[in-house]
Amino acid sequence: STAQIGVTGLAVMGSNLARNFARNGFTVAVHNRTAAKTRALVEEFGHEGDFVAAESAKEFVDALERPRRLIVMVKAGEPTDAVIREFAPLLEPGDVVIDGGNAHFEDTRRRERELRERGIHFVGVGISGGEEGALLGPSIMPGGSPESYDALGPMLERIAAKAADGTPCTSHVGPDGAGHFVKMVHNGIEYADMQLIAEAYHLLRKVAGYSPARIAETFRTWNRGRLDSYLIEITAEVLAHVDTATGKPFVDVVADAAEQKGTGRWTVQTAMDLGVPVSGIAEAVFARAVSGHAGLRAASRGLAGPSAQPLAGEAADAFAAKVEQALYASKIVSYTQGFHQIRAGSEEYGWGIDLGAVASLWRGGCIIRAAFLDRIRAAYDARPDLPGLLADAGFAQEIGAAQDDWRAVVAAAVAGGIPVPAFAASLSYYDALRAERLPAALTQGQRDFFGAHTYRRTDREGSFHTLWSGDRTETTA
Ligand code: 6PG
């Protein structure tokens, strides 16, 4: 047994992760259900480091130093359970099984519980950064027991992306499903970021009449400012790309039906259960759903819309700066909502997640990496009990400075008939938080009227009910 770590499941994410470990000086046992893939990996990339090719599960397990560390990189769901069923009987107490897939955190909690009974550490690890990240340095979000992190953490720190200040983009997030939970919210934020960028593009194109090439340039400019992020950078690339077959902008030849594997949806489902308003993220998930309903869209195409003319001249030129404000403000809201969800999950499951540390490990390697995350980290480091990002003086000041343009952009979208679900939901969230009084008081009155559900008062303690169908006197419930 010579390998310090093993990877089973050698599709692209698995093999790139195995290569990353090998390139960082670790001896890596590699295994795949079909051995041909294992052989192919070693043949092609054997020169990059020390690999031990294992044909069988037994060979794989025997190749690993104790306590064993083996990373499972198969499809989330039943395939992961199948691999665990195959390997668990071959393992010993103290061994660490790591699931690097996009598992649902509830599955991770269950697997952790089941394996703990056999003395085996099960570590659900969120890994972000796509194929390239897995190879060159992803952002890594490990859950599991603190002991398992002792055995695993130093290796993860070696292969993880490094933030600009050199800090590895990984740290122990919390026990059992905490890592996969945080990865799930990462993906929810990823959906929101992508949708907000898409709305910005749509507005610039339709309201201000910019070409895709001009929008690419606009995004390149933004990427040098406070919106500096991976997603803005790649958006500029996609928008600048021209389809070779037709000579048209690439974005004009791609079918406009966005797909999803489901992690964004999980974020919203879980947020519902936790009672956390993640309206920006939810709108991003729904926007993908709307785009996919081809029949419904075709049947609705003739519906009446406004007869707005695109902006021209100086007004068109000036519009980009307003959209930048709207995008930035909405982005603050998405992160506010995502971090709220992480805090709520952490409280619900007793994970003790450090929000500043989460912001820190998202600074590099992952899909949502952005300069902005340094600011979030600083906000939570300065005040770990911050009730929400908008309570941070810096963010409050920026969003306050953006809000006039934000409103103007949403108003222009509404007037022009351009859907901006995420911009609008984010702005409504901001206004709801700001409001002195919400119409929820009226909702309470309605509930009491039709269902005697009772209400509380602003001026006295207790629960009350008004005799709506009687003489309308108030009773103490
Ligand atoms: C990442 C990504 C990745 C995710 C894809 C696809 O962090 O590297 O989040 O894990 O699977 O982005 O997501 P959808 O198919 O749901 O868009």
Q: What is the pLDDT of residues 41-82, one digit of tens each?
A: 999 999 999 999 999 999 999 999 999 999 999 999 999 999
Cα dihedral across residues 446, 452, 454, 457: positive or negative: positive
**What is the C-alpha separation between 287 and 259, in angstroms, rounded?**
10
Q: Are 468 and 451 in contact (CB under 8 A)?
A: no
Q: Which residue's entry shows tokens 């107490």? A: 93
What DSSP assignment string belongs to 143-185? -S-HHHHHHHHHHHHHHS-B-TTS-BSB----STTHHHHHHHH
Q: From edge to edge, which strands make up the β-sheet containing 27-31?
A: 50-54, 27-31, 5-8, 69-72, 96-99, 121-128, 139-142
The binding-site residues of ligand 1, defined as CB within 6 angstroms of any ligand atom, are 102, 128-130, 187, 190, 260-261, 263-264, 366-367
- What stretch of H or E contains 30? strand 27-31
pLDDT of the residue at 9: 98
Contact partners, residue 200, CB within 8 Å, separation at least 6? 323, 324, 326, 327
Which atom of ligand 1 is found nearest the CA of 263?
A: 16
pLDDT of the residue at 477: 87
Q: What is the pLDDT of residues 247-259, one digit of tens each?
A: 999 999 999 999 9
pLDDT of the residue at 308: 84
Is 13 part of any known ligand binding site? yes
- In the 8-state DSSP scheme, what is residue 11? S
ipTM: 0.96
Q: Are 95 and 121 in contact (CB under 8 A)?
A: yes
- For residue 464, the CA-to-ligand 1 centroid distance in Å is 48
Which atom of ligand 1 is found nearest the CA of 288?
A: 17
- For residue 187, the CA-to-ligand 1 centroid distance in Å is 6
Which atom of ligand 1 is found nearest the CA of 264?
A: 16
The residue whose CB lies within 8 Å of the most ligand 1 atoms, and thus the one to mutate among 102, 197, 234, is: 102
Residues of the chain with pLDDT under 50: none
pTM score > 0.95 for this model? yes
Burial status of residue 391 (CB atoms within 10 A of its CB: 0-12, 13-18, 19 or more)? middle
pLDDT of the residue at 1: 67
- Helices (H), ranges, 229-312: 230-240, 250-253, 263-274, 279-292, 294-300
